Structure formats: structure tokens, C-alpha cells
Amino acid sequence: MTAVLGQATILVVDDVHENIDVLGGILRVEYKVKAATSGAKALEIVKKSECIDLILLDIMMPDMDGYEVCRELKADEKSKDIPVIFVSALQDIDDRVKGFTAGGADFLIKPIQPEEVLARVKVHVENVRMQRQLRQAHDLLESRVAQRTQELKSANESLHEMYRRIVHSEELYRGLLEASPDGVVLVNEAGEIELANMAMCELFGYSSDELKGMTVDRLVPQGIHGHEIDRSEYIHRPAHKNDVSRSTLYGLKKDGSEFPVDISLSLVANENGDMVIADIRDQTERLWLEEQLNQAQKMESLGRLTGGIAHDFNNILCIIISYAELALDEKTGKSKLDKCLAEILRAGERARDLVAQMLLFSRKGGRKVTQVVELSPLLTDSMKMLSPLLPSSIDFKIDIDNGVVLVKVDPIQINQLVMNLCINARDAMDENGQIELGVRHVEMDAGTCSSCYQSVQGEFVEVSVTDTGPGIDTETLRRVFEPFYTTKDVGKGTGMGLSMVHGIMHSCAGHIIVDSVPGLGCRFLLLFPMVQLEAAGCSISDDAEEMDYSGEGQTILIVDDEVAIGLFLNETLSNLGYKVVCFPDSLQALEYFNANSDEVDLVITDQTMPRLSGIDLAQAMLKRREDLLIILVTGYSNRVNSAQSKVLGFSAFFEKPFDTKSLLKEIKSLLSS
């Protein structure tokens, strides 16, 4: 008998050595593992072994399939009670039924999840221990019955009946996931819950009786109650019969709190009609860890950027200072002065773009902002951040297809993807070689994702990063997407880069293909689902002609504690025909407004000011005049962004350093309307 759970012996049967390695790696942490590459070898090992506690059995094998092996095991007196868990990529409900009919105890679907494998194995190993203990107890009672008096006979019969019921119950409900850490519900066509396991009750805070008969709408937030249409389509479309689909939603607990869940749906049919089995897993901890890992990886990348960014900023400051000194020289003529000012302006714009990229890349928290975007400008921005990181000894080439290339992704993540792959390529080549970044449309007839191992077919937008480094060997390639796996020396990387690439690509339904031969370089292909221009509802148009920004005497109140900025706006707007009132102090500005509220047509206010912030100032002004037009301008604030500013009542939002023409255009538009 297995005395300790860690001493249990598990037999893994699979004709693919890699699958055995994967399962063995997962199980050896807690169990002894034996392996067989065929059904015949598995039967032989079971006959020779004193104790096999559990068998993980593949279905599709050449000499005899898993079903036949299972029937052989169940026909043998020695092995009939060893639980068999089928491990297969087959997802059809009929395949599961066939497995349970053959005597299987459970069914795992490839690709497997280590946590799920360990959880289910633990349940069945403990069940084996319980049965063996019951048999020993039964045998002990049987031996004592003969020596005891007739009055103990009834007690022995009661114990025997209890044992019979336990065994019978285990046979009837084998395969049900009552011990699963996931919540499982059976939902009828009307959306009513007919069955829920205990994990489901604990997950949502309801009792089993409360869940039975409840509509699933009560378990999701109000904002997505329209999903009953999707459920009806899922049930009635023949193409979805016996299909399994997964999606991430937000669940609603009994106490009103929301939490992220991963849902797996399986369609089944019984005498009451078509029903859906939903497997629901709490994703709160996973998403939190993912966000922490994502931020850690971004901070690692920002650390690498520091030297290059400092170099770039020093160059920009040198340009600004040098040309400013030249412009102040009395000997500088009008034409040279214009040239100096133009160079200062260009350097300032470079500094502005660099800061914007750094802030964008280091953004933390919140849900991902997935949107349809044009890829080429995003890659151009990525190149700006990469240039300080790639030494002149690396020949960097870009090959981007002509035309509009649209993908659906969080724009920030494009920076992360390209930066991770290019930095890895740089380090692999020891800062000497060639890196090529390419973008093109491709049509995949047949391929396999190098990180999730799923089949890849269809039309994609391919972003490729190719290097002339030493390449990646087969063993390393199998592990490169694992978190914290790295071949770099200690202190030169956390091993999170390619793990993040894996997470980002699959969060936007993409795939990764790695093409590498040791000694001949490496090529990473990022495959994004193609988005058609018409479907995206986008259009690409030329910039509008220069517009007239002049005003008609409207009064604009400017509030900014940076006096130079206030003076600049005062001068610019006054020259365009506006009446401008400017204050460097927000409380003074509020006092003026309270006395002249009917005369002010528009307010431009900074956010971060000593005594009263821009948000607080705006709230005070809006209480007095609800229709007041207010533009918020900020150098940086973690209290407000463009979307939040609308909620707070602002008419527009600009980040410093702002584009003057864009600001003038917005002022003209607001006052005209």
C-alpha cells in the first residue's frame, strides 16, 4: 500500500518520447514515474511491477490504441483496480464516453496544463489509497467475523453494505469533476443551471440549492448580459456540435464583486435536449501574476534603455544649447537665426517624442487597450527606442511591405515584442552581425506554433526578426518560452523576454514560429491575424490643408504656474485675435473667474500646480458654469488621462510638450461649436 502520497508510482504510456518527458517532468516533483512507449510494453510493466498506483495513457498508439490497453488492464485481476487517465488531443465527447466505457477513470485533453495534471493525479492516487485501506479494513473485519459471536454479524454486514455502496458510487460517478478545482455547471437551453459542483459553489459564493435553477445571467456583470444570444447560437449551430471553445469573461459573485474567469464550453445532448457543460476557472491570481511579470520585464527593458536614452538626451540638449547660444550671438544674421531656431525646434520635438515613448512603454496597470492599428508607424516608433540599444557594429535592416498593414493589438505591446526580439538577437550575436526586421502578408498552408504547438493556417500579418547569430539548438528551442528560462549569464537577464512574447502573441490570437539552425542564425516569425481595412472601419487620408486658427475676440483664461508657458500661450492667442487673461496662480485664476464667469469663453489649465490642481480648479469652475469649455494640459499625471478627463468634464486633453497647431485647432473647433 502507498504509505505516503509522494511515494506513489505512476506509469506514463505514450509513443512520443517528448510527451513522456513533459509528463515525467511534471510528475517527478511528487511521484515516482515509469514510462512505456507502447501498449504491449505497458502491459508487461504492469505484470512485473508490484505496485502501479496510476496510469496516464495515450489513446492514439500504433500497436494497440489506449482503449484496447485499458480493456486489457481491466480484464486482469491484478490490474483491474488501477485507475487509468486517458491523455489525448481528442476532444469529441464520444471519445470521452468511449474512454469511460473502456474503464477509464478520467480524461485529460492535450495540450495539458501542469496544475490540472497534478490536481487530477492527486485525486485519483488518494482514491486508490482509500480503496486499499477499505479492502484492508474489510479483510480484517472478515477475519474477525469468524471469531466473534453472532451479535457482531449485523455490524459486519452493515460495513460490507457501506463498502459496496462506496464502490458502486465510485463506478457511477467516475469521470465527474467533483474534486476538480474548477467550477463545473450544466446549463440547459434556457440558460438555467441544472447541476453545479462544490468548486462552483465556493467560486461564486452560492449554495448548491441556490445555483440549481438559477439563470447564468446572474453570474455575469450587467454589462455583458447580452451573451444569451451567443449561447443560443452556440447551441443551435450544427458546426459547433461536440465542440469545445474557450473565452475569458468576468464573473459576478453573490456579494456583488467581479473577478476574471476562464470558461471552457462543451456541448452535450441528453433526453432533455442540448445542454452546455461550462468549466469555469478563477483567473484573478494568474492575471495578477501576469501583470507583475509583464511589469518586471518592462522594467528590465527600461533598465537596458537607460544608457542609450541618456546618450540621446545629451545629444538633444547639446543641439538645443549650442544653437541657442548661436542665436543669441549679436553677429548672427536673420537667415542664420531662422536656421538656429529651426534646429532647436527639431531637437525639442525629438526630446518630446522620446519622453512620450518612454512613458508609453512604462505604462502600468489596467486592462490591455486592444485596438485596430496600422503596424508601420508603430514599428517606426519602436525603432526610435531601439536605435540607442544597437551598436554601430550591428547592421540593422528594415523590409516592410508597401501598403496599409492593420493588426488588432495593444500598441504598447508592439514595442515590447520588437524590443525583446532585437535585444535577444543583439546579445546572441555578441553585438556583431546583422538584424533584419520585416513585415509582410503571408498565407500559411500548414505550420505549427513554436510556443503553443497548435496548427497554424490562414492569412496573417508576419513580423519577422532575423539575426546572423549562432542559432538555437533543439533542446533550448523547446524551453525558450518558459518563464525565467535563460541561457545568459547571471545578472544579464531574467529570462522573461520570450515568455512575454508568448503571452502577448496569444492574447491577440497570434502565433510564433521559430526557424533556427545551430550556426546559421535564427528567425522569429510573429503571426498576427489579418484585419481588413473595410472591416476595421478605418480610412487613410492625406493631412488636411493649413486652416485658419484666428479668433473673434473670445476671452480665453490661461492658468499655468510655469510662467514661460503662460507667456507663450498669451502671445500666440493674442496675435490670433483672442482676448487672453493669464494667471500663474490657480487660486487667483479662480477668484477672477468667479467675478467674471459670464465673460470667459474657454479655460486652458495646467494639471499640476502648487495650491489647486487643474482637476480641482475645473470642478470649482464647472459648479458655477456647467457649460464652460475647459482644456486640461499636463506634463505628466497619474491622476488623469485622455479618457478620464472626459468623465471629469474637460472638453479636451493635451500632454506637454503639446503640438501648438493641434491645440489651436482644438480651440477653434470648441469655440466654433
DSSP string, 472-502: --HHHHTTTTSTT---SPTTS--S-HHHHHH
β-pairing, 394-400 vs 433-444, is parallel
Percent of all residues in the chain with a pLDDT value above 70, rounded to a whole number: 74
Minimum mean pLDDT range among 371-375, 449-453, 476-480, 530-534: 530-534
Same domain, 357 and 312: yes
Same domain, 612 and 470: no
Cell of residue 418, nine digits: 520588437
CATH, residue 401: 3.30.565.10
Same domain, 190 and 117: no
Expressed as residue numbers, the domain containing 160 is 5-173
Is 338's pLDDT higher than 90? no
Is 383's pLDDT higher than 80? no
Q: How far apart are CA 280 and CA 253, in angstroms?
A: 13
Q: How far apart are CA 8 and CA 123, in angstroms?
A: 12
Same domain, 11 and 119: yes
Same domain, 575 and 529: no
CATH, residue 628: 3.40.50.2300
Same domain, 162 and 254: no
**Higher-scoring residue by pLDDT: 275, 247:** 275
Amino acid 86: pLDDT: 92
**Residue 235 within any structural domain of the chain:** yes
Same domain, 324 and 463: no
Identify the CA nearest to 190 among candidates 245, 114, 272: 272
Q: For the segment 612-638, what is each residue's pLDDT rounded down to a tens digit?
A: 999 999 999 999 999 999 999 987 766
Q: How far apart are CA 20 and CA 32, in angstroms?
A: 13
**Residue 189 within any structural domain of the chain:** yes
Q: Indicate the pLDDT class of residue 152, thresholds 50, 70 and 90.
A: low
Q: How far apart are CA 123 and CA 180, in angstroms?
A: 9
Q: Indicate the pLDDT class of residue 258, thresholds 50, 70 and 90.
A: confident
Please give the tally of structural domains in the chain: 5
Q: For the segment 288-301, what is each residue's pLDDT rounded down to a tens digit?
A: 776 676 666 556 55
Amino acid 35: pLDDT: 92
Same domain, 112 and 256: no
Q: Please state the rounded mean pLDDT for residues 63-82.
A: 89
Q: Domain ends where: 282, 302, 333?
A: 282
Taking CA atoms, 621 is separated from 492, 597, 663, in Å, by 53, 8, 21
Q: What is the DSSP string of 322-338?
A: HHHHHHH-TT--HHHHH
Same domain, 21 and 166: yes
**Residue 178 within any structural domain of the chain:** no
Amino acid letter, 377: P
Amino acid 11: pLDDT: 92
Q: How far apart are CA 458 and CA 101, in angstroms?
A: 38
CATH, residue 202: 3.30.450.20
Cβ pair 476, 538 in contact under 8 A: no
Amino acid letter, 409: V
Minimum mean pLDDT range among 355-369, 430-444, 522-536, 570-584: 355-369
Q: Domain ends where: 365, 389, 405?
A: 365
Ranges 177-181, 446-450, 479-483, most confident: 446-450
Minimum mean pLDDT range among 190-204, 266-280, 323-337, 401-415: 323-337
**Residue 543 within any structural domain of the chain:** no
Is 483's pLDDT higher than 70? no
Q: How far apart are CA 58 and CA 67, in angstroms?
A: 9
Amino acid 316: pLDDT: 67
Q: What is the pTM of this model?
A: 0.38
Is 18's pLDDT higher than 80? yes
β-pairing, 522-529 vs 458-467, is antiparallel
Amino acid letter, 332: T
Same domain, 129 and 235: no
Q: Domain ends where: 365, 381, 415?
A: 365
Q: What is the phi-psi region of residue 30: left when phi exceeds 0, alpha when psi lies from -120 to 50, beta otherwise?
A: alpha
Same domain, 361 and 372: no
Same domain, 564 and 518: no
Dump strand ranges (E) for 163-300. Answer: 183-187, 193-196, 244-252, 258-270, 273-282
Q: What mean pLDDT, rounded, does the chain reach?
A: 78
Cell of residue 15, nine digits: 509513443
Amino acid 588: pLDDT: 93
